[in-house]
Structure 1
Amino acid sequence: MLTDATIDLTPAVQRLPENLLLAALPESERALLLAQCETVRVQAGQLLYEAGQAPACVFFPLDTLVSLLAVADGRSTLEVGVVGCEGMLGAAVLHAGRPLPLRAVVQRSGCLLRVESGRFGQLYRQMPVLQQALHLYTEALLAQVIQIAVCSRFHMLEARLARVLLMTRDRLHTQKFHLTHEFLAQMLGVRRVGVTKAACALQDKQLIGYSRGNIEILDAAGLEQVACRCYGLVRAASAVAC
């Protein structure tokens, strides 16, 4: 869980709005919200909130990436969504603090903005543009969750891995990033040996380079051809532009 030791003391209001939801707000709403935020540095693998838990805070990712994991039997996981600088986490607190059914785990180290849930709820009711933006984003996130759940049930692992890598590329705006076999196995809901086989297949086709968790997309167009059509559907629903 997050600790005070991870807080960057630079006031959020002094930073550029790197999060697209915040950047889209009128200056008056954005300044009011940022004044209540603190900038937090998080590490890969860090837990933001657990499934079934009403989060104490709402999070706006800046340059980090967060996986939303469905949890079975308290142990097995499957990624059903990913949130980057295009969105936010913890919107369910707007509905009487209802516990979230998903685990939120940092996929890539970086920074996010954090605001206490109760305070965010108060501000939300004063901000009509934020209300509209979050309504549209929540619809897009739900479409993403549904499509990825369908993908996980019906599509081959190699195509699913290609989708995950492309979605990560889109949000980080880089062809190179770090994802361990263990984390990919948690995301895809498979054993590590399955990830190894799928990654090797993509390497053999010279679509990616993969070594010790360091991934480089060598042929983005070819990787898109291998990925199932869910990638295009999720991309369209999310309208990722960060």
Structure 2
Amino acid sequence: MGGAQPCLGTRLCVPARKRRFSVTKTPPPASRNRLLAALPAQDQHRFLTVCEEVKLESGSLLSRTGDPVSFVYFPCESFISLMAPATNPGSLEVGLVGTEGMLGTSLLLGVAEAPLPALVQGEGGAWRIAADDFLRQLREQPALRRRLERYLYVTLLQLAQAAACNRFHRLEERVARWMLMTLDRCHSASFHMTHEFLASMLGVRRAGVTGAARALKEQGLIDYRRGELTVIDHTGLLDAACSCYGHDGAVYARILGS
């Protein structure tokens, strides 16, 4: 498994594909984003009238740390990695945003700059709204603000859980957790993944990821060929993952509903 992969240092280094997207003519159903789908129908319609659909391309860099937040994204099929910059070359994924969430939560706190680099991991559609329009909607729609503030709370809890996971849990458990998180957001039993990319996301050496993936494959839980990973035994992969995966899902369901 190979391919050019992003590296995060004091600056984020990726192929020159920053903010690549295209505007499409057929909008995705709002129900594909769980935050928007849970809004009252009238509020949802009002919000979507000031949004546009864009297709996010895999590998695109939507923001760097400290960039002005020009747009807020609500993924419908795509998913986005939130990365922690490191002082040495490398990277560490600390969050994953898919159809359950949004990119641009700093605006909820009155901060108009991106706190973390955001890298599109899985391509697909997303609703996009300009920052000024988003702030106006927050002022005019109390139900929207309440729901997104609750999502921000969930995100903070999940970031704390990710920090503990990276420190205390075995690599094989973390690899299984990452696969499950990606599986939830790509809506398919198969997705593209290289050992180099996964090592970059987890902030570990490639050899460690190769060993963990081999162990999961030997247990009959996954298969991978030429960068394509397929989950064969979802239940078994759940058992192999650390408890953080279940914890994150339970927190989301408790605060925002299943």
Measured in 1, the distance between the counterparts of 2:139 and 2:240 equals 44
Aligned to 2:8: none
Question: Which secondary structure state, in structure 1, belongs to the residue aligned with residue 179 of structure 2?
Answer: helix
* Corresponding position: 1:16 with 2:29: yes
State the 1:97 CA deviation: 3.1
Question: Structure 2 residue aligned with 1:103, among 117, 131, 147?
Answer: 117
Measured in 2, the distance between the counterparts of 1:31 and 1:223 equals 39
Cα gap change, 1:204/1:144 in structure 2, threshold over 3 Å: closer, same or farther? same
Measured in 2, the distance between the counterparts of 1:16 and 1:87 equals 15
Question: Which secondary structure state, in structure 1, belongs to the residue aligned with residue 92 of structure 2?
Answer: strand
* Corresponding position: 1:6 with 2:19: no
Aligned to 2:54: 40
* Corresponding position: 1:238 with 2:252: yes
Within 5 A, what are the aligned runs for 1:21-170? 21-73=35-87, 75-170=89-184
TM-score w.r.t. length of structure 1: 0.91
Aligned to 1:182: 196
Name whichever of 145-154 and 178-187 sits farther off. Answer: 178-187
Name whichever of 60-69 and 215-224 sits farther off. Answer: 215-224
Percentage of identical aligned residues = 43
Question: Which secondary structure state, in structure 2, belongs to the residue aligned with residue 206 of structure 1?
Answer: coil
Whichever residue aligns with residue 94 of structure 1, its letter is L
Tell me if the contact between 1:70 and 1:101 (Cα under 8 Å) persists in the aligned partners: no
Number of paired residues?
238
Tell me if the contact between 1:78 and 1:189 (Cα under 8 Å) persists in the aligned partners: yes
Measured in 2, the distance between the counterparts of 1:238 and 1:218 equals 26
Tell me if the contact between 1:69 and 1:104 (Cα under 8 Å) persists in the aligned partners: yes
Q: Deviations over 1:152-202 (max 9, x none)?
A: 111111110000011122233332122222321221011222221211111
Measured in 1, the distance between the counterparts of 2:208 and 2:47 equals 44
Measured in 2, the distance between the counterparts of 1:134 and 1:96 equals 13
Structure 2: gaps (5+ residues): 1-17
TM-score w.r.t. length of structure 2: 0.86
Aligned to 1:191: 205
Question: Which secondary structure state, in structure 2, belongs to the residue aligned with residue 121 of structure 1?
Answer: helix
State the 1:74 CA deviation: 7.0
Whichever residue aligns with residue 169 of structure 1, its letter is L
Whichever residue aligns with residue 74 of structure 2, its letter is F
RMSD (Å), alpha carbons: 1.9
Tell me if the contact between 1:80 and 1:146 (Cα under 8 Å) persists in the aligned partners: no
Aligned to 1:210: 224
Whichever residue aligns with residue 125 of structure 1, its letter is R
